[in-house]
Structure 1
Amino acid sequence: MALRVTPGMMQSQLMRNINHNLTRMQGLQNEQSTGRKLNKPSDDPVGITYSLRYRSELSMNEQYDKNIAQAKSQLEHTDTVLGQLSELVQRAQELAVQAQNDTNPQTALDAIAVEINQIYEQAIMIGNDQLNGKYIFNGQMTDIEPYDSATAATAAAPDTDDQTVKVRFSAGVTVAVDITGGEVFGKTGDNDNLFKTLKDIYNSLTPTANKAALQTAANQLNSRYEKIINTRSEVGARTNRVDLIDQRMQDLNYNLTELQSKTEDADMAETILKFNQEEAVYQASLSVGAKVIQRTLVDYLN
């Protein structure tokens, strides 16, 4: 039995086709306006999983980038402070050598002692250096001043905290960004503790010179200077590592951004071309519909 095609059926089929063409054209128009081919999960169910993964990794890397900037700032500041301390100890070494000259009168030794005492006070100030309100030489106890001028050279002085501050740069990758006071200035019981050594030099010069004690203190000062230099070299090595991590992170972010762009962003030239094609199809369907559905006598009677 032949199926009778009624005008109502023709109109319904025509409207469905026109709406379908309009929907496709609207989708392409949306891609043009947003510049993205992935605007909702239904656009690409597989692609959305990759997109979310790329976004998550980029978000984590953004925090790691902040950690890298923080680490660089702290390491560079520590290197600057250690450079100042090195120059200070070098000056103390020069004065110690000068004081060992047998031709020095007591007045000259007294003048050297005064300068050594000033170096001691400056070393205390460097030991209590702060960055962003945090003491850099007291390990994880960054809110406690590590050194006191009155006790730093004595056996009563407490040792600084030996737990380093570590910054995470990726899963399983951490780098210490500080140096403890014990590493730089020496612990309380160390013979070459910088503060004790400076006081020993001072005491060996006044009120009268003690050349044997001066020689011993000068040797301890040389020992401490070598350790300060080695510590500064370690800070430089850590800075270089952070730079390498930073470069790797920048490369990783570039690759992830490129992959995200390929997954989410629309090819504008292709999108415009497809839109023009769909627009032509839509206009053609409207034109054909106007010819297929003709007015009848019933339309006029209604």
Structure 2
Amino acid sequence: MVARISTTQFYHTSLDAMETHANKLLQIQEQLSSGKRVNRPSDDPVAVSKLHKLNHALNTIDQFVENGRYAKSQLELEDTVLNDATSVLQRARELTIQMMNDTYSPADRQATAQEIDQLIKQMVNLANTKNPEKELLFAGLSSNATAAFATTIVADSGGQVDTYYEYVGDDAGARFVQIGFDNDNYLAPNDQGDPSRVRIGDRGDKVFSVNGTTGGTITIDRPNGNTATVDNNVINVLVNLRDWLQSGQQPPPQIADQLYQGITNISQVQAELGGRINRIDSQYDALQNFQLALKDHKKNLEEVDVVKATADFTQTQVALQFAQQAFAKVQQVSLFNYLR
């Protein structure tokens, strides 16, 4: 049996063909003008979904890079402060050793006490340093507190009271920032072994301690023959040194030893700072490489192949012309034309 094809079906088939070619031609023209293969979700739903994920990953990398810059600036500022603190302690230790010499008179020592007093003020300022955001560097999680070290009154073994300094910052933890991707998205109290996060601050009770431990107290010999138990920090060692010199007496060797321990402790903290800065640089390099790979993948998904698109444009244009010519022929097909 021969199937019958109506004139209407001829028309619809021809119009559908022309519309299909025209839409494809318009799509290719849009791709060539925008330079993108995907201009709307309907162009390639699968590619659009992948592009959303890629954009999210790229934005996350940008945030990690920014976090790394912030962390590095914090650590470099801390390192600068600790260099100054080391200079203060080294100068104080030099003066201590000088004033232990019998050639210096009580008046010489009292004059030197004035310089030590200035060094104390400088050290207090360094211990209470704030970053450009007005956050304390050495107060742990209490970065917005008034101070990391404040004055306190302590009575010695003979009941005589004097003014010293104690750590008043947070003693429970430290601040961290994430600088890279990780597997568990879990922030442990200690960042050792987790290269995706870095500690951006150190507690002052460790940084400026005499023996490198957090918290605790130290016992100092006073010029009046008594002893005092004070907060474990080098500022109190400087206070004790000043008081010995103000009394005109030779400072005891204990003070020089305690200053040396404080200098050694700060050097160890700076070595840890260097390690953290190196981790930030390593993470930055890894993120840059990953970012380049993601951008290349995004380019392949999103950008149009100009050579191929140009060839498709020409091919589709020719197909549209054939469809138009075919439609013109179909319009001439009728029974009356056949009878003529």
| TM-score (normalised: structure 2) | 0.80
1:276 to 284, 295, 314: 314
The two structures, once aligned, show a CA RMSD in angstroms of: 2.5
User: 1:206 maps to which residue?
Assistant: 246
Structure 2 residue matching 1:148: 3-state secondary structure: strand
Q: In the aligned structure 2, how far is the partner of 1:237 from the partner of 1:292?
A: 80
User: 1:182 maps to which residue?
Assistant: 205
1:18-46, CA deviations, whole angstroms, 9 ceiling, x for partnerless residues? 00111111221222233222233443343
Closer, same or farther: CA 29–190 of 1 in aligned 2, 3 Å? farther
Alignment of 1:87-236 (within 5 A): 87-131=87-131, 132-144=133-145, 145-148=147-150, 157-162=166-171, 163-169=173-179, 170-171=181-182, 172=185, 173-186=196-209, 187=215, 189-190=217-218, 193-209=233-249, 211=250, 213-236=251-274
Where do 5+ consecutive residues of structure 1 fail to align? none
User: 2:43 maps to which residue?
Assistant: 43
* Matched-pair contact (CA < 8 Å) for 1:158–1:188: no
More helix by percentage: 1
Where do 5+ consecutive residues of structure 2 fail to align? 155-161, 186-195, 210-214, 220-231
Q: In the aligned structure 2, how far is the partner of 1:23 from the partner of 1:277?
A: 13
* Matched-pair contact (CA < 8 Å) for 1:200–1:214: no
Structure 2 residue matching 1:103: 3-state secondary structure: coil
Number of equivalent positions? 297
1:32-66, CA deviations, whole angstroms, 9 ceiling, x for partnerless residues? 23322223344334333332322222222222122
Q: What's the CA shift for 1:159?
A: 4.1
Q: In the aligned structure 2, how far is the partner of 1:53 from the partner of 1:159?
A: 46
Closer, same or farther: CA 158–147 of 1 in aligned 2, 3 Å? closer
Q: In the aligned structure 2, how far is the partner of 1:50 from the partner of 1:151?
A: 65
Q: In the aligned structure 1, how far is the partner of 2:153 from the partner of 2:122?
A: 15
Q: What's the CA shift for 1:183?
A: 1.4
Counterpart amino acid of residue 175 in structure 2: V
Structure 2 residue matching 1:167: 3-state secondary structure: strand
Percent identical pairs in the alignment equals 26
Q: In the aligned structure 1, how far is the partner of 2:83 from the partner of 2:105?
A: 33
| TM-score (normalised: structure 1) | 0.89
User: 2:302 maps to which residue?
Assistant: 264
Q: Give the 4+ runs in structure 1 shifted more than 4 A.
A: 149-156, 295-298
More strand by percentage: 2
1:208-233, CA deviations, whole angstroms, 9 ceiling, x for partnerless residues? 21x3x432111111111100111111
